[in-house]
Every structure is written in C-alpha cells, then in structure tokens.
Amino acid sequence: MFGLRFIDGQETAQTSLESSTQIFILPRPLLWLNRVYVRLKTMLGKPLERNVLPQHSGNTTTTHSLQRTPTQPQRLLHLLTSMRSARLGKGLYQGCIDAIKTDRQLFDFLRDLYKSKRGHIRTLCSLKTVKGIHIVGFNLFAGGAVEVRHHKECCKQDCTCLPPAALVQPSENAEYQCYPAGPLKYGPPILPEVLAHFYSSPSCIPEHVRSVLDRLPIRIVGELHEPIGEPAQGWGIYFHEGLDSDMITLLVFVMFFTGSLIFGILWSYLKMDVQGAFGVSAYILTAGAILVSLVAMKANKA
C-alpha cells in the first residue's frame, strides 16, 4: 500500500510491505517543484472534450425518420459563474450543466471553463491563479457588466449568498435548486478555500459524490437575461484570483540563475578569472534566493 502524509510541514510517502514500513521525506524544494509542475500542466493542458458543448453543422444529413427521432430534452440547468474580464471588469458566464452528475465532473467542468475564458498565455503572463471560489449573489446590468455581492461586504446580518426559499425548489416560483436555501445565519454553506482545493485537485474527490453540487445555487429556468430597466438578480460562484507565489518564485529564480550564469561566463572569457567570476555569481544567486523568499511571502499575503 502507498500513502502520503505530512510530518512537521513536510510531505512524506509511506509504504508498507507485509512486515516493513519505509518513510521517505520529500524536502521542501521537491514539494515546490512538484507544485510548479502540476500548475504548468494544469495551465497548458487541453480542455477535456467531455465538457465541451456539442457543435452542430448545418450540412448534417438526417437519415432517420421524424417519427423515430427521439425528442431532445430542453437544456435548463445553468451554473452562473463570474470572473475578471478585460472588457467588463467582471464578466458573467452561464454554463449548461445538465450532463454533470458528480462533484468531480463539476470541478473538471469549472477548470475547462476557466482555461477557455482566461487562456493559457494570459494566465501565464498575469502570474495569477485561483485563490478561492466564492458562493455569491450577482446583479447583472444591461450591457453585461456584473456586480458581485461579496459576503463580507454585503451580508451584514443574515447571509444572502444563496437564493431565498421562495426562489428555490420545491417552491412554485422556483428558479434555483440548492440545499440549504437562503438566507443563512452562519454564512455560505462551503468555504471558498475548500472549493479552491477541490478545483485544484479534482482527483481527490471520491467518485459518485455530489455534496458540493447539491449546495451550489443551480439555475433551473434557463439563462439569466440582461435586463431592460433594473439589474437582474442572480446567484452563482465567483473566481477570486491572486498572485501565484509558485510561478513568481520560479520566474525570479530563473532570472537570477540565468543572469549569474551569463555573468560568470562573460567575466571568465573577458578577464580570464574563473574563480572571481563565479564567486560574484554565487553572491548574485544568494541575493536572488533572499529576494525569492521575500517575493513568495508577499505573494502569499496578497
């Protein structure tokens, strides 16, 4: 058997073979390199085809009779998702989730949605990542601009991050499905950090589990349309982004390492002093290591 656990802030791998147990402690640099590798793989990975909406071609020839063609069910379930937008500040995206039945499928869908809207190059250049996924209320204005009603700023007494019971099944005027319905006394049903953890590691969620899916406000009457007069009110999730400390650390390290290496080579070639050249390079790397630590601490606080 094989398992992972943490000892004094370090990740350990434990293996048990009949009568012997071995514990391998992975140093912090290896953990950091592993996180960077996973982050790059996530950013550059192709979206999963199972979550892409089907595309229809006008030249498709129908070979079955109308009587034998089954009626396609109307797609009504939508998850309202907001994230930063260059044009609108915050944009609203309404993904159809009729085919999603489990939490793992949900977070695979959210990862593909985020990558398709943000793009690989833009995500890398911005040096940002998802720090939290908040369950929030929205105000949708004409033109597509979105006001996100954050819990800390807008929920002074009861939490209104979920739709009220009058708009949730089994009400006759239901527009959403979720449990529990709002308003709540204790805040959102799931913390943003927990949702962000599941987002970064969907594989840690057991299959056939849907505890998160049941708690999210899912719109059951189609998309939320832009209003003509007053803003339209809706509920969903918001991607909170922050500086990616792992990518920033990698970038600063590569810059200092490359600079010190180039300096050492040029100084050795021009001055014929290999020892002095790489002595200065060592000081540059030391300064780079200190700067990397400061940048990582600042990024984690952001």
DSSP 174-223: --EE-SSPBPBSSS-SS-HHHHHHHHH-GGGSPTT--HHHHHS-EE-SSP
Residue 133 three-state SS: strand
Spatial separation of the C-alpha atoms in residues 266 and 264, rounded to whole Å: 6
- Quote the tokens at residue 211: 């505890």
**In contact, 159 and 180? CB cutoff 8 Å:** no
**In contact, 272 and 293? CB cutoff 8 Å:** no
Spatial separation of the C-alpha atoms in residues 99 and 77, rounded to whole Å: 9
* Cα within 13 Å of Cα(103), Cβ side: 23
Question: Which residue from 128, 107, 108 is spatially nearest to 118, judged by alpha carbons?
Answer: 128
| CA distance to 3, 10, 53, 54, per residue, from 6 (Å) | 10, 5, 40, 43
CA torsion, ordered 82, 88, 89, 93, to nearest 10 deg: 10
- Quote the tokens at residue 209: 């589990």
DSSP 8-state symbol, 167: G
> Which residue spans within 103-190 are E strands per DSSP?
128-140, 146-149, 176-177
**What integer pLDDT is reported at residue 43 of this predicted model?**
56
pTM over 0.85: no
**What integer pLDDT is reported at residue 58 of this predicted model?**
40
Its sign, for the CA torsion 231, 235, 239, 240, is positive
Spatial separation of the C-alpha atoms in residues 169 and 221, rounded to whole Å: 11
- Quote the tokens at residue 216: 């999210």
**What integer pLDDT is reported at residue 284 of this predicted model?**
79
Spatial separation of the C-alpha atoms in residues 297 and 294, rounded to whole Å: 5
**What integer pLDDT is reported at residue 256 of this predicted model?**
81
Exposure string over 137-176, b if 16+ CB within 10 A, otherwise e:
bbebbeeebbbbbebeeebeeebbbbbeeebbeeeeebbb
**What integer pLDDT is reported at residue 60 of this predicted model?**
36
Per 3-state DSSP, the chain is made up of helix, strand and coil in percentages (nearest 5) of: 40, 25, 35
Spatial separation of the C-alpha atoms in residues 247 and 253, rounded to whole Å: 10
**What integer pLDDT is reported at residue 280 of this predicted model?**
79
* Cα within 13 Å of Cα(178), Cβ side: 30
pLDDT tens track of the chain, all 302 residues?
A: 444 444 444 444 443 333 344 444 445 566 656 666 666 665 555 444 444 333 333 443 333 333 444 444 555 899 999 988 766 678 899 989 999 999 999 999 999 998 888 776 766 677 788 889 999 999 998 888 899 999 988 888 889 999 999 999 999 999 999 999 989 988 889 999 999 999 999 989 998 999 999 999 999 999 998 878 789 999 999 999 888 777 877 888 888 888 888 888 888 888 777 777 778 778 777 877 777 777 667 666 65
**In contact, 219 and 79? CB cutoff 8 Å:** yes
